Structure formats: C-alpha cells, structure tokens
Structure 1
Amino acid sequence: MSDDPAELPAHSDAAWADLRALTRARIALGRSGAAQRSRDVLAFGVDHALARDAVHLPLDEAALQTELAGQGWETLCLHSAAPDRARYLMRPDLGRRLAPESAAALDAACGRWGEIELQPVLADGLSALAVQRHAPAVLAALRERAGPSLRLGPVLIARQARVALGDEIGERLRAQAVLMLIGERPGLSSPDSLGLYLTWAPRRGRSDAERNCISNVRAEGLAPAEAARKLLWLLREARRLGQTGVALKDQSDAPALEAAPAAPRLGGA
C-alpha cells in the first residue's frame, strides 16, 4: 500500500496526522467493524469526566488570594445569591445577583477605593479550574501593560457567579467599566477555558449584547499577554464610544491600529 496520504483510506490515521497536530478536536475517528475503536471511546470518556468535574470543582479562594497577594493585589471575597452549586446550576438568575451579606460587605468597603476605571472580578462560573489556572496571569499582564495610568479596583473573587453579577458589582462601586474573568462552559477538549467579559457603565439590567467577550484564554488557546492587549484596546475604544457590546467591534488585530498606544488613559488629562 502507498504511503502517500492522498492514496490512503479516509479513515487512516496517517492521512489525518498533519491536521490532528493542529487541533484537539475529534476528527476522522477510525472504526473497528461497525463501531468506534476502543481507544477513542475510552478517550472520550476521560475527557467527558474532566469536563463534568470542572463544573463541580470548587474554587480554592484561599490559594487564589495568596497568589494574588504575592502580586500586590488587594482582594475581597463575595458570593452570589445561589447558596450552593446545585442551586447555582438550576437557578441561573441567583448567580446574577449578590447575596445580601456580600452586597453589604461591598458597600461598606467601596468608600476606601476611590474612583475606579476598571473593576476586575474573578468568578468561578462553570469552571473554577479556569480561574485558578489562568486569571492571575491575565491580571499580571493587564497591570504590566496598562501601567499606573489605569485606575484598577481591588480584585473581587465571586463564587457561584454568572457574568451578569459584574453589573451589580460595578454599579455599586460606580466603576467606569467592569471586567469579569470567568470560567467558561467546559468542552471535551477544554475544561479550563477562561472568558473575559468587558462591560462599560455597568448597571443591573445590562444585556449580553452590551458586553464584549474575549474567549478561550488557556494554554492551548489565547495567551494571557495577548488577552490583555486585546482587552486594553477594547477598553480604550469603549471609553471613546461610551459603550461596549454590538456597537464595539474588536479590530485590535487590524494593521492600521496596531501602532496605537497599548495603555489607555481613562482618567482626565
């Protein structure tokens, strides 16, 4: 039989080796008789278990606070109105608002933080693993690239949180914009994908159409430094337009815009 991939059967591993090297997606799975091969079935089972585990794995707040303190961040832990994981999964609406005690703690502490241009929130979402692994690196890259000109709030760590929880947080702090770093829904090849959601002028009732999302931040996806670059471009444009969402298209990779300053100045002159 020829070794030329073009002449091999469509199900041959050799015919798809180059393409498989570029993706973790399941493509051109082979078969044994009328069934899938045992190794493919077992690999699917492992990845499915990892995805399910990522949904239920709790966020290690203490470890996250220790790591962020080492970077010089002040932190505050919050909780949504969903009292546990089961309720969080069954009642998405509870994950979109703060528990009363967290709202009170935030209101009591916000006076000492002054004007906030960008408020970062780390949220477990549907994959605490993503936040644990990648959020500190994104924050470090963001602060390094933005420099002292960007007034960042403390890092708020929110458990049982949905994206829209950032709207209430940003509104209570009167922040110009809120950044949610949240674990995305796990996939069979990506149980630790982190999403960044930017909302200008956050307030309760904002819709998903009023946000911009940078997705797939992880080792096999978008690097933290690249995510920070895109985020700061979006933040500068959000201030210019006075809005985020469908009105703000990500053109951060356009050649004509690449030379623009990396760190926005969101305050006064």
Structure 2
Amino acid sequence: MNSLPDPTPDDPWAPLRAATPAPIGLGRVGTAPSLSSVLTLRAAHADARDAVWTPPDWPGIEQGLTEAAIPWLSARSQAPDRATYLLRPDLGRLLAADSRAAVAGQRANYDLSIVLVDGLSGAALTHHGAALARALFAWGRRRSWRLAPVVCVSQGRVAIGDDIGATLGADLAVVVIGERPGLSAADSLGIYLTFAPRVGRMDSERNCISNVRPGGLPIDRAAELAEAYAVAARQQGLTGTDLRVELPNSAPTHSPGVGGAAASARRHDGGSGTGTPSLPSSGSAARKE
C-alpha cells in the first residue's frame, strides 16, 4: 500500500519550546487552551505557591555547611510568621532582637559575610542553598579572606544582609536568597552583593546575580561571577550602578550593562523566575530594599 502523507503540519513553536521551559506555543482547542496546557499551568501555579509557603529544610542545609567545615548560626527577622512576612516586607529587612544579639556575639573584622535567606522560595534554598554557599566560601578561603560564619535567616528579605553585615563588622555582604517563583521556575536563587553594608542601603547600591539554578545559571558559574563582583567591589570600594567589573570570559563592562535588565532595581520578591539564565546586573532605582 502507498503510505499517505502526514496531514499534521510541522509545529513552528517546537524549536522554541525545546530551548526553554517557559510556556511558549501552548496550542488550543477551538478558542480554548488545550487540556494539557491548562493542567501544566495549574501544576506550575501549585509549585509556585508551595515554594512561597514551604520553609527551607534548615537542618539539611546546616548539615551541608557543617560537612564542609563552614561555621554557621541561625537567625530570624522581625516577621513572626509567614503571613506577616508577606504582608510586612519591612519586618523582613531587620533582625529580631535575640538574633541581633547572637550575630553581634560573632562580631569581628571580616572581609566577607555570606547570608542564606529563605526569601520567597524555601524550595530554592533547600535544593541549592548549601551548594552555593560552599562554592562562595571556597573562593573566599582560596583568597585568604576573613570569612564570617554563614548566617541562616528565616523570614528574611534582601536588605537583612545590610543589618547582618553591619552587625558582624563585614566589609562586604553577599546575600543568597530564594527568588519569587514563576510559572516555569520555582527554585531560583538570587545573589545580592553590598559593599559596606548598613541599614538604609538603596537597591542602586547593590549588584545582583539572578536565576541561579541547574536549569538557569549554574551554581559554579554563579559563584565565579560573584567572586569577580566581590573582588571588584573591594578594589573600588563600592557596589551598585557605578561598579566596573571585568567578568570571567568577557570584556570589561559597567555593571548596569551586563545582562540588560536592571535586576537589582527589582525587589527580590520580583525575581526573574523566567526559566532563562540571567547574567549579573544592577539597577538605577534609588529605593530602599
């Protein structure tokens, strides 16, 4: 028998769908989305909600730090619970009194303070937090920097790193935080670097590396970029829009031009979650985080 030609036309969206987990070319049945698209969307929405409301696996994260011989301590923000944290971002930017006392007990002249914060994705910190902290700590040790104990913060926002860095006496604060989940990525981490941290720093005084996860910017590459930013920050005595960085395997650039979008001009709860890798960038908005 002669075989009949396949009546189904080639799908022009197939190459794009293969390149990204973002929902592209979903298709339809009549005027409605296809059933598979609707179910996928609902599952992604459920994953995003779970990421926001589920706390990180702190014991697992802390065990990962201990196994790497990295000192750490636990802390919490002034937000007493998750609901308050979501309604009162300002409370997530400051340490609770007992946590500030504990952090102050570790005060010294540090070059670098690494802070792990749950942010808006506990899942991101559970899956990648310890590994990223180990990678960051590794280059700090290699450079013989004075490293503060890693502070593990519950119910925190980006700016809590300013409070912690100032309390510890650190020259540079590096905050690793769970980004706001999107419908194609619920486990992304953001890295925020602030030189001379103190309460009241503006977003324009930070640099951000976003979408750190296996399906976005790999952990090793993110740590490499963070090292380049940290070294430049200490050399130039600043972070933010005026920082000039020579990134590994790239030409020198001013940080606002790296990656296009002004990532650090967003609050961390507006993190990318786009499913595509983001290079570091910094914002020009002068609002407080």
TM-score, normalised to structure 1, is 0.87
Aligned residues: 249
> What is aligned with 1:260?
none
Q: Secondary structure at the match of 2:80?
A: coil
In 2: Cα distance, 1:142 partner to 1:99 partner:
26
Counterpart AA for 2:123: L
**Alignment partner of 1:66 out of 63, 67, 75:** 63
Q: Secondary structure at the match of 2:24?
A: coil
Q: Secondary structure at the match of 2:110?
A: coil
Counterpart AA for 1:46: A
Gaps spanning 5+ residues in structure 2: where? 253-289
Q: Percent identity?
A: 46
User: Higher helix fraction: Structure 1 or Structure 2?
Assistant: 1
> What is aligned with 1:160?
155
> What is aligned with 1:175?
170
Matched-pair contact (CA < 8 Å) for 2:121–2:186: yes
> What is aligned with 2:186?
191
**Alignment partner of 2:100 out of 89, 98, 103:** 103
Counterpart AA for 1:98: L
**Alignment partner of 1:141 out of 108, 120, 135:** 135
Matched-pair contact (CA < 8 Å) for 2:93–2:156: yes
Counterpart AA for 1:180: V
> What is aligned with 1:30?
27
> What is aligned with 1:233?
228
1:150 Cα shift? Answer: 2.0
Matched-pair contact (CA < 8 Å) for 2:62–2:130: no
Counterpart AA for 2:240: G
Gaps spanning 5+ residues in structure 1: where? 258-269
1:55 aligns with 2:52: yes
- Equivalent residues in 2 for 1:69-88, closer than 5 Å: 69-88=66-85
TM-score, normalised to structure 2, is 0.81
- Equivalent residues in 2 for 1:254-265, closer than 5 Å: 255-256=250-251
Matched-pair contact (CA < 8 Å) for 2:188–2:211: yes
In 2: Cα distance, 1:186 partner to 1:255 partner:
29
Matched-pair contact (CA < 8 Å) for 2:111–2:172: yes
> What is aligned with 1:125?
119
In 2: Cα distance, 1:187 partner to 1:137 partner:
22
In 1: Cα distance, 2:122 partner to 2:159 partner:
17
